Amino acid sequence: MEFRWRYQDAQGREVVGPEVAFADQAEAEEWFSATWQDLLDSGVEQVTLLCSESEVYGPMSLSPSA
């Protein structure tokens, strides 16, 4: 199993983001904690964590006001 992030705009449409995969959920969340501001700056407005193709949680807004 691999974990990865799905990147979306505010309407839930998929947008391009870094294509990185992680061995476990903790690694994925640690990476996200370090890069969420860069993702927001590049146009990503929400993310969903996936394990293989199953949703673990999300969508989660990156907006500080949400």
Question: pLDDT at position 64, please?
Answer: 80
Per the structure, the complete domain to which residue 47 belongs is given by 22-52
Q: List all residues 6 or more positions away from 14 whose beta carbon is below 8 Å from its beta carbon.
A: 6, 7, 8
Please report whether residue 36 resides in a domain. yes
Question: pLDDT at position 17, please?
Answer: 96
Please report whether residue 37 resides in a domain. yes
At position 10, the amino acid (one-letter code) is: A
For the chain, list residues with pLDDT below 70: 66
**Total count of domains within the chain:** 1
Question: pLDDT at position 16, please?
Answer: 95
Please report whether residue 8 resides in a domain. no
Question: pLDDT at position 27, please?
Answer: 98
* CA–CA distances in Å: residue 1 to residues 26, 39, 41, 50: 13, 24, 29, 10
* CA–CA distances in Å: residue 19 to residues 6, 25, 39, 64, 65: 9, 16, 12, 24, 27
Question: pLDDT at position 15, please?
Answer: 96
User: pTM for this structure?
Assistant: 0.91
Please report whether residue 11 resides in a domain. no
